[in-house]
Amino acid sequence: MANTYTQIHIQFVFAVKHRNGLIYSSFKDELYQYISGIIQNHDHKVLAINGMPDHIHILIGMRPTQSISDLLQDIKGSSSKWINEKKFLKVKFEWQEGYGAFSYSKSNVNAVINYIKNQEEHHKVKTFQEEYLKLLDVFKIEFDERYIFKNPI
């Protein structure tokens, strides 16, 4: 699109179905590369990607050529299919329904990148559910408790 200039930074957060810790270190880096490829194929820019065995954070520079829901549908659908085809697990892999999408100004991008890179440190003191609820609170997002990612049973 000629004469279209944007600066859109979005952090996506989503979890493994039932919050099972199925993203093993043995294939985590390959998964992140695969997801990064999906994002880049849609002409967006991956700024950071990391997570824990039960969830993932991705910060991108997003172009206005695609909806967030279409991008996330492709990321989640293609990556779960890829994990299952590669047979990394003895069980079927699925992402939980839903996601969080949080926008940031350019001045916050470096802090968000550092936050995503240091997920392991953050989760030594805060659960995923606590982290997610804090994001919803900081961004003043109203939510229904029934649809919040729950801690595994």
pLDDT at 151: 64
CB 59 within 8 A of CB 10: yes
Cα 47 from Cα 111, distance rounded (Å): 12
Q: Which of 20, 53, 21, 57 is nearest to 36 (CA)?
A: 57
pLDDT tens, position by position, 85-116: 999 999 999 999 999 999 999 999 999 999 99
The residue extents of the domains of the chain are 9-147
The continuous run of DSSP H or E covering 77 comes out as helix 68-86
User: Rounded mean pLDDT of 58-79?
Assistant: 97
Q: What is the CATH code for 9-147?
A: 3.30.70.1290
> 147 falls in which pLDDT band (50, 70, 90)?
confident
For 59-71, the DSSP string reads: EEE--TTS-HHHH
User: Rounded mean pLDDT of 24-30?
Assistant: 97
Q: Which of 148, 30, 9, 8 is nearest to 85 (CA)?
A: 30
pLDDT at 129: 86
The continuous run of DSSP H or E covering 46 comes out as strand 45-52
Q: Which of the two residues, 104 and 122, has the higher pLDDT score?
A: 104
